[in-house]
Structure 1
Amino acid sequence: MSGRTPPLGDTTGLWQAVLAAAAGRCQCRGTCGKTHAKDGGRCPTRHGGYARHGTGPVSLLAAAADPDALLLPAHRAAALPKRELTAWCPACHDATRRAAARAQQAASPTAEPDALFAL
């Protein structure tokens, strides 16, 4: 994908608007677990650029800015307004989503065993 060619299905221009607001660069500021300290605290990955040697060009995603909202079901995530979206590189998106899932799991109460099976 070169330039800012939108993904299939971006008929509203939402993805292009999110990427334009991000200046074509991942907007992660460390929620992925990396500090991005060498790059001013923001992920250096650019749309169409290369994340590391030997990988193909990166396609940024437009997804929820709030890490907890990354866990929303697809139909709810697709309905988020532009102001609640941010540009993510796949690596930061996936790492942030995993971290949010771990935090959510740790915060949920543990299920009590069913009394029927208690010994």
Structure 2
Amino acid sequence: MNGRVPPLAGADLWQAVMAAAAGRCQCRGTCGTTHAKTDGRCDRVHGGYQTRHGCGRVRLLAAPADPAALLLPPHRIAALPKRELAAWCERCHDATRTRRTRQDTVPAAAPDALF
């Protein structure tokens, strides 16, 4: 499929997710970046080269489309159907997961009262 090398396990599912995403990261800013220069969507393409921050080949992941689902245990993520998966570059995936983890661990604000 256009020079895309699938992972060793789950190749059919991975290829289906990549085909639906046209081989491009589907992040639309959940990573904290606006992706403003590329119409709000990450411009990283599987097999392409990163121009900065680690320079190297881009390898897309098939991971949950819903940022909250990125925190599920691996066995639950592996059971998700194709319609609930999206293509993520490593940078957007990691940043989104980190942001989601921080949101879930921030304690609720204490009541603003004296007694």
What TM-score, normalized to structure 2? 0.87
Is 1:82 the equivalent of 2:82? yes
Instruction: Show structure 1 runs of 5+ residues with no match.
Output: 111-119
Aligned-partner residue type, residue 57 of structure 1: R
Deviation at 1:55, TM superposition (A): 1.8
Which of these two proteins has the greater Rg computed from alpha carbons?
1
> What secondary structure sits across from 2:106 in the alignment?
helix
Cross-structure match for 1:51:
50
1:4 and 1:107 map into 2 onto residues whose CA distance is 43
Deviation at 1:5, TM superposition (A): 1.4
Deviation at 1:50, TM superposition (A): 1.2
- Residue by residue over 1:18-76, the C-alpha shift from the partner in whole angstroms, topping out at 9 and shown as x without a partner, is 00000000000000000000000000000000122462211100000000100000000
Instruction: Show structure 2 runs of 5+ residues with no match.
Output: 111-115
Q: Where in structure 1 do 4 or more consecutive aligned residues deviate above 6 Å?
A: none
Cross-structure match for 1:61:
61
Is 1:94 the equivalent of 2:94? yes
1:18 and 1:35 map into 2 onto residues whose CA distance is 23
RMSD: 1.9
Kindly, what percent of the aligned residue pairs are identical?
Answer: 65
> What secondary structure sits across from 1:87 in the alignment?
strand
Aligned length: 108
What TM-score, normalized to structure 1? 0.84
Q: Note the 1:1-119 alignment, pairs <5 A.
A: 3-11=3-11, 13-53=12-52, 55-106=55-106
Aligned-partner residue type, residue 43 of structure 2: P
Deviation at 1:10, TM superposition (A): 2.1
1:77 and 1:29 map into 2 onto residues whose CA distance is 21
Aligned-partner residue type, residue 83 of structure 2: R
Aligned-partner residue type, residue 78 of structure 1: A
Aligned-partner residue type, residue 74 of structure 1: P
